[in-house]
Amino acid sequence: MTPLLDQNQVRQPVRRAMDIPRPDRARAIRRRRTWLTISAVTGLALITYLVSRLEPAAPMVDSPVWIDTVKRGEMLRQVRGPGSLVPERIQYVQAESDGRVERILVQPGTEVTPDTILLELSNPELKQAAFDAEWAAKAAEAQLERLRANLESERLTQLAQFATLKAEHAQAEIEAQADATLGRDGLVPAILCKKSRSRADDLKARVDIEEQRSAFLSNSATAQLAVQQAEVEKLRAMLALKERQVANLQVRAGISGVLQQTGDREPLQVGQRISPSATLAKVVEPTNLRADVRISETQARDILRDQVASIDTRNGIVPGRVQRIDPAVQNGTVLVEIKLAGPLPKGARPDLSVEGTIELERLTNVLYVGKPVQGQEDSTAGLFRVIEGGKEAVRVPVKLGRSSVSSIEVRDGLQTGDQVILSDMSQWDAHSRVRLK
């Protein structure tokens, strides 16, 4: 039987066993802690590096986008702009003198002929001036007749005197020749012969002077009559002007067409006072219209005369050709006149708003796509190309070329069959990739 041990004897050996030093075990523990620390730091650094290399999630495009496919083939280059129908012939009826509107006989929209009276004006002062001009012209004509009669009387008197002198000269010449003949025979004294010759020569000189005076009087009479005739013509012209002005108080259309408006900016009213050269009415030919289209100055550089065009009147499309290109630029646009080559649809009228499209050229075998919102002609734009079966889109640089109304040439960056987003993607400029719904 084993003897029982004292309590103190039992505890003492145990205490000695726990106090035995074990340096290899402590080193192992320290080594393990060091490796754990190094592994944790290395793992944390690796995780941080991997997280930093991760790209942010692509944003989602919530709104619908406009997608088009890149094609190769013929591309029709066109430019488009707003405009209006303008009459080829416009008759502006203007007032020749001031007056007061008495009656308005025709309202806008009425068909008129050249002799249609549109409105009537009144001007008592003008009628009085016409009356005075008429009597002044009659007085000048009477003065002309009186002058003509006086000059004719002077001419006849002068002719009578001239005839008398010629007769006296002829008689004196006969007497001088007779005295000379008798003097040679000694029947008449020499002094008498000289006296007869002297008288004949004196009458001859007077006949020559009177002949010159007759020619001068004739020229003088012509000049006086011309002066008075000019005065008569002046007064007749003045009378004709006044009579025309009085007649024009009844304002006529002047051409066949449609009365488009009365007045200039505001319609005329009965009792309104009109000044000279004021616009009284506007008459147009409604069947002879052209289209004035305004094209952006950046697109108008390739427009040429006789290019094919089409005009959309909202009630039909009318073919036409470019007739004239305005050299001036107004508010960033160029005015292009298009001559219509087809019948006008119903409802076409002057000042009707239209949209004109001009065909510039046809490009063959080119790569093209629908015109993007952010793409300009001859530039490089960042467009989103659709990938992953339409789930995502990535931004790619695309070099664009010549443009049209709804399409643009692709020179580099895309291939046939690629799908690109044409909508405005400016809010995603900071992202190179987006997700699509």
Q: What is the pLDDT of residues 404-437, one digit of tens each?
A: 888 999 999 999 999 999 988 888 888 888 888 7
Q: Are residues 322 and 399 in the same domain?
A: yes
Note whether residue 130 is domain-resident: yes
Note whether residue 45 is domain-resident: no
Q: Are residues 267 and 176 in the same domain?
A: no
Q: What is the pLDDT of residues 240-299, one digit of tens each?
A: 999 999 999 999 998 998 998 898 888 899 999 989 889 999 999 888 899 999 999 888
DSSP 429: T
Closest to 74 in 3D by CA, of 317, 299, 366, 375: 366
pTM: 0.59
Q: Are residues 208 and 137 in the same domain?
A: yes
Whether the pLDDT of residue 172 is over 90: the answer is: no
Mean pLDDT of 187-202: 77
Domain boundary residue among 261, 284, 307?
284
Q: Are residues 299 and 428 in the same domain?
A: yes
DSSP 301: G
Read off the CATH number of the domain in which 333 is found.
Answer: 2.40.30.170
Whether the pLDDT of residue 190 is over 80: the answer is: no
Mean pLDDT of 160-181: 79
Q: What is the pLDDT of residues 316-335, one digit of tens each?
A: 899 999 999 999 999 999 99
Note whether residue 412 is domain-resident: yes
Whether the pLDDT of residue 197 is over 60: the answer is: yes
Mean pLDDT, the chain, integer: 85
Query: Is residue 349 a contact partner of residue 286, using CB atoms and an 8 Å limit?
Result: yes
Q: Are residues 266 and 153 in the same domain?
A: no
Closest to 70 in 3D by CA, of 361, 395, 398, 368: 368
Mean pLDDT of 195-211: 80
Note whether residue 62 is domain-resident: no
Q: Are residues 156 and 202 in the same domain?
A: yes
Note whether residue 38 is domain-resident: no
Q: What is the pLDDT of residues 117-158, one digit of tens each?
A: 999 999 999 999 999 999 999 999 999 999 888 888 888 888
Note whether residue 140 is domain-resident: yes
Question: Residue 370 forms beta bridges with which residues?
Answer: 407
Q: Of 127-131, 165-169, 175-179, 213-217, where does the model show the most confidence? A: 127-131
Residue 373, domain extent: 67-85+286-436
Note whether residue 37 is domain-resident: no
Q: Are residues 114 and 253 in the same domain?
A: yes
322: which 2 tokens? 């470019």
Q: Helix 124-184 and helix 190-247: axis angle, to 10°?
A: 170
Q: Are residues 293 and 190 in the same domain?
A: no
Q: Largest Cα–Cα distance in the chain?
A: 242
Note whether residue 298 is domain-resident: yes
Read off the CATH number of the domain in which 260 is found.
Answer: 2.40.50.100
pLDDT given at position 85: 93
- The rounded distance, in Å, linking the Cα atoms of 383 and 387 is 13
Q: Lowest-confidence range among 130-139, 190-199, 263-272, 390-399?
A: 190-199
Whether the pLDDT of residue 173 is over 90: the answer is: no
Q: How many domains does the chain have?
A: 3
Q: Are residues 151 and 254 in the same domain?
A: no
Q: Is 368 helix (H, G, I), strand (E, B) or coil?
A: strand
Whether the pLDDT of residue 397 is over 60: the answer is: yes
Burial environment of residue 399 by CB neighbours within 10 A (0 to 12, 13 to 18, 19 or more): middle
Q: What is the pLDDT of residues 332-375, one digit of tens each?
A: 999 999 999 988 888 888 889 999 999 999 999 999 999 898 88
Q: Are residues 296 and 406 in the same domain?
A: yes
Pairing between β-strand 117-122 and β-strand 257-262 as defined by DSSP bridges: unpaired
Query: Within 10 A of 121 (CB to CB), how many other CB atoms are there?
Result: 23
- The rounded distance, in Å, linking the Cα atoms of 406 and 76 is 10
Domain boundary residue among 262, 284, 306?
284
Q: Tell me which amino acid residue 68 is.
A: D
157: which 2 tokens? 């008197």
Q: Are residues 183 and 306 in the same domain?
A: no
Q: What is the pLDDT of residues 2-56, one digit of tens each?
A: 444 444 444 444 444 445 556 666 667 777 777 777 777 787 777 776 655 545 6
Q: Are residues 262 and 310 in the same domain?
A: no
Query: Within 10 A of 160 (CB to CB), how many other CB atoms are there?
Result: 10
163 versus 339: the higher-pLDDT residue is 339
pLDDT given at position 53: 57
